[in-house]
Amino acid sequence: MTLHQRIYADLERRILSGELSPGDRIPFEHELTDTYRCSRMTVSKAISELAGRGLVTRRRRAGTFVAQPKAHAAVLSIPDLQAEVAARGQAYGYALLDRVERDARDDDETELAAGGRLLDLTCLHSADGTPLALEHRLIALAAAPQAVDVDFQTLAPGGWLLTSEPWTEAENRISAIEADPTAARLLGLKLDAACLCVERRTWRDGQGVTRVWQTFPGDRYDLVARFSPGHMKDIRR
């Protein structure tokens, strides 16, 4: 581990553990140079990488602060399907069906990281051997360049993104759809069977990170938001 990686890792640990909370100022660069006995360039490189991941924001003349998380709506959090299946006592299954690196094709896709290269993934999730969700996901490589080197044959992209690429803003859209021929075949459904589609987008400080469509058989998955004034809790089953 190089010195700038050590500084990055130390600050990341303090942020993710909650030792440094959103809005807290991290030590000034000159303080870090004294602590680690290194050049200011080394410290600046570590902080730039933290800012690139959306963990901190720099304010001119004020310093660097832990980023404030925000979301369009709190109705649904971002789920980890593997954790959900395991929590129900079922065996989780995953298969990567297609992986393509390509350019954006339309205006909607161009919104992801300002139209840079995209990683286009199609995968299938299952529970106890029964198909649970067909997933089509786009990852903006400008926002998550390390995704190119991840082995998504064995690692589900959603779980990897949750642990490796923090987001500051998210949007969920839920709709009822009918299974098209591809979804019907892969999910083991009749053509035009009722399905639940969850479309999700995430951003980091205004930069698009990922967009995903997850199609669930209508009789195998539901989403319920339980809430009271000033409090909201998500329940899935």
- 31: Cβ contacts below 8 Å, ≥ 6 apart: none
Could you please report the per-residue DSSP string of 91-111?
-EEEEEEEEEEE---SHHHHT
Residues 232 and 136 placed together within one structural domain of the fold: yes
Number of domains the chain contains: 2
Q: How many residues comprise the chain?
A: 237
pLDDT recorded at residue 233: 45
pLDDT recorded at residue 16: 84
pLDDT tier at 225, thresholds 50, 70, 90:
low
| CB contact at 8 A, 66 and 53 | no
- Choosing from 23, 39, 66, the residue where a domain stops is 66
Residues 147 and 231 placed together within one structural domain of the fold: yes
Residue 73 lies in a domain: no
Condensed to tens digits (0 to 9), the pLDDT of residues 159-214 reads 999 888 878 888 888 889 999 999 999 999 999 999 999 999 998 877 889 999 99
Condensed to tens digits (0 to 9), the pLDDT of residues 19-54 reads 988 889 999 999 999 999 999 999 999 998 888 777
CA-to-CA separations, 106 to 14, 95, 101, 209, in angstroms, rounded: 40, 27, 15, 16
Q: What is the CATH number of the domain that holds 171?
A: 3.40.1410.10
Residue 117 lies in a domain: yes
Residue 22 lies in a domain: yes
Residue 72 lies in a domain: no
Residues 98 and 58 placed together within one structural domain of the fold: no
Condensed to tens digits (0 to 9), the pLDDT of residues 109-161 reads 777 866 689 999 999 999 999 999 999 999 999 888 899 999 999 999 999 99
pLDDT recorded at residue 224: 59
Residues 115 and 201 placed together within one structural domain of the fold: yes
Residues 105 and 57 placed together within one structural domain of the fold: no
Residues 20 and 53 placed together within one structural domain of the fold: yes
d(CA 72, CA 57): 20
Residues 30 and 105 placed together within one structural domain of the fold: no
pLDDT above 80 for 18: yes
Residue 75 lies in a domain: no
Residues 135 and 103 placed together within one structural domain of the fold: yes
pLDDT tier at 77, thresholds 50, 70, 90:
low
pLDDT recorded at residue 35: 93
Question: Residue 75 corresponds to which amino acid?
Answer: V
Q: What is the CATH number of the domain that holds 56?
A: 1.10.10.10
Helices 29-36 and 40-52: crossing angle, nearest 10°? 120
Residues 102 and 204 placed together within one structural domain of the fold: yes
Residues 46 and 116 placed together within one structural domain of the fold: no
pLDDT recorded at residue 105: 82
pLDDT above 50 for 235: no
Residue 133 lies in a domain: yes
pLDDT above 90 for 229: no
- 69: Cβ contacts below 8 Å, ≥ 6 apart: 22, 168
d(CA 55, CA 65): 9
pLDDT recorded at residue 232: 43
d(CA 29, CA 31): 5
Residues 24 and 91 placed together within one structural domain of the fold: no
| CB contact at 8 A, 198 and 77 | no
pLDDT recorded at residue 133: 94
d(CA 87, CA 33): 45
- Most confident by average pLDDT, 23-37, 68-82, 161-175, 223-237: 23-37
d(CA 12, CA 5): 10
Residues 89 and 48 placed together within one structural domain of the fold: no
Where is average pLDDT lowest: 5-9, 18-22, 189-193, 228-232? 228-232
| CB contact at 8 A, 142 and 113 | yes
Residue 226 lies in a domain: yes
Domain residues for 158?
81-236
Residue 161 lies in a domain: yes
pLDDT above 60 for 234: no
